[in-house]
Structure 1
Amino acid sequence: MAGLRPAAEAGYKVAMIRFRPLAAAPLALALIAAPAAAVDRAPDRTAATDYVLARAADANGDLNRAAAGYAAAYALTPDARLGSRVYRQAVSAGDFRAALAAARNLQAADALPSDGRLLLIAEAVQRRDWARARAALAAMPDGDVFGFLTPIIQAWISFGEGKDPMPLLVPGKGGAIALPYIAEHRALLLIAGGRMAEGISQLATMSATRGGREVRLRLAAAAALDPSKPDERTRALAVLQGDDALFVEARAIVSAGRRLPGAIRTPAAGMGELLTRVAADLNRDRVTPVALSLARIATFLDPDNAESWLVTTTLLAGVGLNDLALDALGRVAADDPFATAARDLRLRLLVREDRAEEALGLARAAATAKGAGAAEWTRVGDILNQLDKPADAADAYGKAIALSEANPDPAGSGLAVLWLLRGGALERAGDWAAARPALEKAVAMAPDSAAALNYLGYARLERGEDIAGAAQLIEKANRLAPDDPAITDSLGWAYYRLGRLPQAISTLEKAVAGEPGDADINDHLGDAYWAAGRRFEARYAWRAASVYASDDKKGRLLAKIENGPPARP
């Protein structure tokens, strides 16, 4: 039911990047593929034949053959549109030899896209060919969509040449859109140039608003320090203070005297960091071929930057290229602070690929390894939920709770979430006697958690337990999260159960407006309409619900459309 979703959907949290729902890629994005493989060519093959076969391979998901076919077609007929397709496919797949060749062909045809210009600059920067890098940057036309990056790239080139880059990074350069990027790279260039105290001080001025981005920047600052030297180890540990899981893992690495990966010491690493952030920012709106290209170019510039691989993985998964996404995750080193985030992403991808049993095996292995904690058992519980094994999931969450109680979180919020997850799993397993006290404990520990209040209130409502009290819990949840359609649905259903039909209908109509494709909310609205004597509207709502309902619910909805709802006991 809609009201019970908050706990059921609790799952992985990955630092700094948003993992978007996986979806079938539209045609323009489906052209992204693995590196082109050699294909046997019959003497009478034409460019048209290669193109048709490539499109057919695309449609069948055979991306390697599609890439080879497009490249072969372009070799016979150098059409700019086909060349753009070859370029986009190659760079997004990480085949930089093919991508650079395609980019140069497009440049000669005056058809190079903006991200292609960045690739040519990146190659020169990686080769430390500063003259060619400057020439490629100067060739960027006025009004280019990525023109705001010019002063930052110029600054890193100047750094590579041994010149002072700071005069290039002043407010106003690149326009208002460049300001946050310039602020970051002033700090990173100070640190790369050995002016550690100044760089860290600048990072501190950004800390109030940076969130996850600040975490990455502080990790990069600490990575520039040598923990084999006592004074630098002390400074690195000071930079890494905080409760974020990445800081905890990074402090363990530094305390052991090992140097953190992810330092930004070179122009290639600096430009890679810049493009990674731009790709992640573009991904906030939607996955685009350009965002994926920028992330891939970042991995080309600095293959040791784990964040770039995580962003690349997220973008590949966002267009359904899960095999390539899994391959990208393999580039994150096991001893990197981002390794846990990479493991989380891998498990999520495996579950979404219907390989949940494989994911469960990996999660159990991690949970039973030496030093494992509550987070590892929480992952096991999440995957067991995906496998529709709620009783086993509840046991896993119970193990996580025991470990969390042995190492308490000062804020207590993490433990409250675990009690909510355990209570939700027990409720779905049919053990309400054990679920209710677990959910009540979650509410007691986090009285302002809309998810916990809603889950407990709705579960009581469904069982007819103290409907007025259940409604009060849901009303509080709604005050805390007034725009959550699932909670609005719960509130409307509570009003329905209390017999307050006008309030129920207006509240449920609001919930449907917020989530028109939710079968449960439309079903509830139909019941409320029917109770109010609005039979035509009730049947319309149930028909809408049947469009989105799972197969096991369609029969019940069709019976309602025919005969009305059964009498409630």
Structure 2
Amino acid sequence: MPVKSLTIAMALVVPGLMAPAQAANATVDASSVAASAYVRARAADVRGELQASAAGYAAALAMAPGEEDIALRAYRAAIAAGDKALALRALKTLDAAGKMPADGRVLILADAVTNRDWVTANVAANLLEKEVFSLVLPVVRAWIVYGSKQGDPLALLGPLPAVPDPSSLSENPKAAPTNVVPAQQTPTPYAPEHRAAMLLAMGKLDEGVALVRELQAAGLPVRIRLLAASALARKGRRDEALALVAGDEPAMAAARARIAAGQALLPPTYTAADGIADLLARMAADVNRQRVTPVSIALARIATFAAPANAITWLTASEVLNQAGRPQAALAALGNVRPDDVFADTVAALRLRLMVATDDKAGALATAQARVVQRQATTDDWLSLGDLYSELERHREAADAYTKALGLAEGQGRQGDDLWPILLLQGGALDRAGDWAGGKAALSRALALAPEQAVVLNYLGYAQLEKRENVTEARKMVERASALRPDDPSITDSLGWSYYLTGDLPRAIDALEKAAKGDPAQSTINEHLGDAYWRAGRRYEARYSWHAALIVAEEASAKRLREKIDTGLTTQTAAP
């Protein structure tokens, strides 16, 4: 592209970057470099190439350091790419223009805390009072006081009243107090868990552990439990430490193994930066549960800047980036967690999911296979391998992996709710592998363990309907499933199909129409509805439904649907 065109493009996409007089006086080299960098950055942004996008905006910002639009784009790109230096540089321009985003102030604060610059940290906290994060300011201020040793941090957190659910965190600045008031009057989310962390950090072990135990039932973050267990283990109180890390989560299992072996769980010190990082990671996860926003991405990334050795910050950043449609960046974030970290198994499971999401299924499978060979494989290792085989439609191998997982779970004495999900996976894989007898046995066992689980009732019932086996009993199963989950389109489809197969066309059509309304893009539902319409003599509507099914049908079903659309429903073209 000629230099003149690049300059014009730059002026078009960045209004006000160069006034006519400035453009006339600018050197060709300077304008073309800036324009080219900006255009490359925008293109890389669209392609999802975060590092290239950040580099392009960095170059453009260097050529036009006062341009607000470039600065904002550079800041967002830097945050997404994890480039702290560029993000801080862009914020200088935005601050000078009075356009500092709220999460930009959070970055300034976190950077100051990390550098133990308590004057800047306090100034940043004061500026946050009128921002959307004012609700958590007491926790922020408490960690600043703890780090600076200028007062009693616990006083800022107040006593332990019933506090709002952290998942209700609002981005509405009017939703929270904006002034520092006595702690007793400040309903601050996250305060109880941070009081526990702070007590442990201050060496008040018994008080901290007592509070952790009290908060466990309310969904205390795993990392706070690990902090308490780690402190107890260092004092030789192993039994108490083990009691705090009960549970099936991979991190808990790893923690128990380390405590038993006399190995450390977490570093012995917990700093103000650690506290801020845990707070931001928790906020990012909670905001992200409502919707993915630039704010949730920023909070997660800033948490990684504040405490890069904290695996939770990287796990949170990875989850947020993945949900924002950045699976490659999400995968890269996981590379920052040490392989000997207590969260390593959690990271490994997420990495496999992301490898599949980035179309590296072969790599994911090789990794999963290596894990079950190279170490003492866990139930989760075999489940992950089974899931990957299922993804690749290697159903016999998937069934074998699920069988291994089931054997390990039973060997550990697991029962009931721990077993039926594995049996459901095993039964489904055996069914798809052509072993219906084995599949039915596994599914029947799952049903015996979980007779009120709609997903089990639906799978076993519908599988028998497909095979035209035990149709009356299968209908009763899907009726029970539908009663448990009346608004589930897939279960409603099973119900309608059971009515169709038992000759009750009016009820079949009513149920199938409801299912199609609930999930209009589901090929199976639309084919079932078309078959029911045809049997009821509603030929035009039948072909309309079959056309809808054909749009998203897999090839095996597409051939059958085309025949029905051309010649009508026959015994050979009936839906399974």
Question: Above 0.5 in TM-score?
Answer: yes
Corresponding residue of 1:31: none
> Which structure would you say has the larger Rg?
2
The structure-2 alpha-carbon separation of the partners of 1:61 and 1:416, relative to structure 1 and needing over 3 Å to count, comes to closer
Q: Structure 1 residue 181 and structure 2 residue 190: aligned?
A: yes
Q: Structure 1 residue 427 and structure 2 residue 427: aligned?
A: no
Q: Structure 1 residue 87 and structure 2 residue 96: aligned?
A: no
Corresponding residue of 1:199: 208
Residue 450 of structure 2, aligned match among 443, 446, 452: 446
Corresponding residue of 1:237: 242
The structure-2 alpha-carbon separation of the partners of 1:528 and 1:157, relative to structure 1 and needing over 3 Å to count, comes to same
**Corresponding residue SS for 2:263:** coil
**Corresponding residue SS for 2:32:** coil
1:62: Cα distance to partner? Answer: 4.2
Distance 1:263 1:180 in 2: 26
Residue 496 of structure 1, aligned match among 497, 500, 513: 500
Residue 275 of structure 1, aligned match among 280, 300, 306: 280
Corresponding residue of 2:467: 463
8 Å CA contact retained: 2:67, 2:93: no
The structure-2 alpha-carbon separation of the partners of 1:177 and 1:145, relative to structure 1 and needing over 3 Å to count, comes to farther
The structure-2 alpha-carbon separation of the partners of 1:177 and 1:129, relative to structure 1 and needing over 3 Å to count, comes to same
Corresponding residue of 2:520: 516
Q: For residues 210-269 of structure 1, give each alpha carbon's deviation from its aligned partner in whole angstroms, at most 9, with x where no partner exists.
A: 1xx4433212322334x34323x3332232234444322211111211121277721100
8 Å CA contact retained: 1:221, 1:263: no
Corresponding residue of 1:291: 296
**Corresponding residue SS for 1:179:** coil
Deviates more, 1:305-314 or 1:509-518: 509-518
**Corresponding residue SS for 2:356:** helix
Give the TM-score normalised by the residue count of structure 1: 0.86
Distance 2:349 2:281 in 1: 20
Deviates more, 1:350-359 or 1:168-177: 168-177
Corresponding residue of 1:137: 125
Q: How does 1:309-328 map to 2 (within 5 A)?
A: 309-328=314-333
Distance 1:54 1:485 in 2: 43
Distance 2:240 2:423 in 1: 38
Distance 1:458 1:61 in 2: 41
The structure-2 alpha-carbon separation of the partners of 1:108 and 1:399, relative to structure 1 and needing over 3 Å to count, comes to same
Corresponding residue of 1:530: 534
1:345: Cα distance to partner? Answer: 0.7
Q: Which amino acid aligns with 2:419?
A: L
Distance 1:298 1:74 in 2: 25
Corresponding residue of 2:13: none
Q: Which amino acid aligns with 2:225?
A: R
Q: Structure 1 residue 407 and structure 2 residue 416: aligned?
A: no
Distance 1:552 1:243 in 2: 40
Distance 1:439 1:445 in 2: 10
Distance 1:106 1:358 in 2: 42
8 Å CA contact retained: 1:206, 1:214: no
Q: Structure 1 residue 385 and structure 2 residue 416: aligned?
A: no
Distance 1:220 1:228 in 2: 11
The structure-2 alpha-carbon separation of the partners of 1:178 and 1:349, relative to structure 1 and needing over 3 Å to count, comes to farther
Deviates more, 1:455-464 or 1:373-382: 373-382
The structure-2 alpha-carbon separation of the partners of 1:320 and 1:264, relative to structure 1 and needing over 3 Å to count, comes to farther
1:51: Cα distance to partner? Answer: 2.0
Distance 2:402 2:545 in 1: 37
Corresponding residue of 1:10: none
Q: How many residues align?
A: 523
Q: For residues 135-193 of structure 1, give each alpha carbon's deviation from its aligned partner in whole angstroms, at most 9, with x where no partner exists.
A: 11112352x11111211111111111222112212369955995331222222222221
8 Å CA contact retained: 1:224, 1:264: no
**Corresponding residue SS for 1:86:** helix
Q: Which amino acid aligns with 1:223?
A: S
**Corresponding residue SS for 2:290:** coil
Distance 1:271 1:263 in 2: 17
The structure-2 alpha-carbon separation of the partners of 1:67 and 1:464, relative to structure 1 and needing over 3 Å to count, comes to same
Distance 2:434 2:338 in 1: 42
Deviates more, 1:69-78 or 1:308-317: 69-78
The structure-2 alpha-carbon separation of the partners of 1:385 and 1:278, relative to structure 1 and needing over 3 Å to count, comes to same
**Corresponding residue SS for 1:139:** helix
Q: Structure 1 residue 159 and structure 2 residue 146: aligned?
A: yes
Distance 1:529 1:196 in 2: 70
The structure-2 alpha-carbon separation of the partners of 1:148 and 1:388, relative to structure 1 and needing over 3 Å to count, comes to same
Distance 2:200 2:278 in 1: 14
Residue 362 of structure 1, aligned match among 349, 367, 373: 367
The structure-2 alpha-carbon separation of the partners of 1:206 and 1:511, relative to structure 1 and needing over 3 Å to count, comes to farther
**Corresponding residue SS for 2:116:** coil
Q: How does 1:526-565 map to 2 (within 5 A)?
A: 526-565=530-569
Distance 2:505 2:216 in 1: 49
Distance 1:408 1:305 in 2: 33
**What percentage of residue pairs aligned between the two structures are identical?**
46
Distance 1:178 1:391 in 2: 55
The structure-2 alpha-carbon separation of the partners of 1:64 and 1:241, relative to structure 1 and needing over 3 Å to count, comes to closer
8 Å CA contact retained: 1:224, 1:265: no
RMSD (CA atoms): 2.3
Q: Which amino acid aligns with 1:204?
A: R
1:293: Cα distance to partner? Answer: 1.0
8 Å CA contact retained: 1:453, 1:474: yes
Q: What stretches of structure 1 move > 6 A for 4+ residues in a row? A: none
Q: For residues 78-126 of structure 1, give each alpha carbon's deviation from its aligned partner in whole angstroms, at most 9, with x where no partner exists.
A: 3212211101111221111111111122111111101000000011100
Distance 2:348 2:317 in 1: 15
Corresponding residue of 1:28: none
Distance 1:107 1:344 in 2: 41
Corresponding residue of 1:32: none
1:52: Cα distance to partner? Answer: 2.1
Q: For residues 8-46 of structure 1, give each alpha carbon's deviation from its aligned partner in whole angstroms, at most 9, with x where no partner exists.
A: xxxxxxxxxxxxxxxxxxxxxxxxxxxxxxxxx956625
1:438: Cα distance to partner? Answer: 2.0
1:364: Cα distance to partner? Answer: 1.2
**Corresponding residue SS for 1:440:** helix
Corresponding residue of 2:52: 65
Q: Structure 1 residue 217 and structure 2 residue 221: aligned?
A: no
Corresponding residue of 2:112: 124
Q: Unaligned regions of 5+ residues in structure 1, if any?
A: 1-40
1:459: Cα distance to partner? Answer: 0.8
The structure-2 alpha-carbon separation of the partners of 1:224 and 1:128, relative to structure 1 and needing over 3 Å to count, comes to farther
Deviates more, 1:323-332 or 1:375-384: 323-332
Deviates more, 1:471-480 or 1:117-126: 471-480
8 Å CA contact retained: 1:329, 1:342: yes
Q: For residues 441-493 of structure 1, give each alpha carbon's deviation from its aligned partner in whole angstroms, at most 9, with x where no partner exists.
A: 22223222222221111111111111001111112222233232211211111
1:307: Cα distance to partner? Answer: 1.2
Deviates more, 1:275-284 or 1:53-62: 53-62
Corresponding residue of 1:417: 421
Q: Which amino acid aligns with 2:443?
A: L
Distance 1:446 1:68 in 2: 54
Distance 1:113 1:438 in 2: 55
The structure-2 alpha-carbon separation of the partners of 1:132 and 1:179, relative to structure 1 and needing over 3 Å to count, comes to closer
**Corresponding residue SS for 1:303:** coil
Q: Structure 1 residue 305 and structure 2 residue 310: aligned?
A: yes
Corresponding residue of 2:99: 111
1:408: Cα distance to partner? Answer: 2.2
**Corresponding residue SS for 1:217:** helix
Q: Which amino acid aligns with 2:340?
A: D
8 Å CA contact retained: 1:54, 1:67: yes
